[in-house]
Structure 1
Amino acid sequence: MDTKTNNSQCHDGVLIDQATLLETLIKQWHKAVDEDFAITVFIIDVDKFSRMENKSACFDQILDAIRSQFQRETDFIARFNRKQVMAISSHMNYRQSTQLATRLHKAIASLKLFHPQSPTGRYATVSIGHSTYAPEPNDCYGVLDMLATVIKFVRDAKYEGGNQSKSRLHSRVLK
């Protein structure tokens, strides 16, 4: 597999394509329905990535910092495209996912990767979109709806200046 194509992704050093990433998300979704637990999806986007020097090395360090924050056996982290990472986690409530987003920002900041074009004007930062949802059988809100929501949240975070997280609590999680 060509490592330079946009649809090549990395999960623990193994290249996967976006179809495999989506398949993993769908499997986790079905398991969440069957076992009645919440699923959380994060998309982490490196701010002003195209203006970053030494993109590849910096992204690898950012990816390692992200991986270090996901400790659950069922966590799945993969490169979503050239400047984004998708993380899928389960059995996490909204508060925990928000706290994890905060830890992700701190982990990236602690790298102190010089990036004068970042929203802070000094070091590399990330924008994060995430959502936690507990799907039910025959639910009208589906996995693609959740993915679209998370993509919108990460875009909103970037549009509003970057270096922040956007999320939403779904009422089903509260039941």
Structure 2
Amino acid sequence: MFRRGRALRDPVTITLDGAAVPAERGEPLAVALIASGRVTLARSPKLHRPRAPTCLRGGCDGCLARVDGVPNVMTCLRPAAGGERIEVQNVVGSRQTDLLQVTDWFFPQGIDHHHLMAGVPGLSAVMQSIARKLAGLGRLPSAALPVEPAARLDVDAAVIGAGP
């Protein structure tokens, strides 16, 4: 189990599914959740297995959660400011017990939502909608996201894809 090595210097409070969680201002939300013993943040889309932060650098999808109504936020990259409302994703039930695990009995290899009832007139669209919700792909943000302003950069040379 993880624990903090020192007391919080600038404590703030965030919430995970309505429960208050202490955090240090500026630390990644995922780190605050892990330090409070809340490791499972999501479920895998197809098999609904527990997901947790693994890389803490934005390279995996284990820390994805809904933050303040916005889905698929990488909590390992979002600094705590206080007041953030975090909700787990792809879960029917709770973080600890996902009721959709019952689908393992019927679909032991996972749900292939791309081909589920494909080609059946009338039923195909309905099944696609249900499959998208089961896979966690059907719930949009709670409110419209603000428009990000564009920026123009004038450079002599641009190297793309070469890393830092």
Please indicate the TM-score interval, normalised by the length of the shorter structure: under 0.3
Bigger fraction of residues in strand: 1
Give the TM-score, by structure 2 length: 0.27
Rg larger in structure:
2
Give the TM-score, by structure 1 length: 0.26
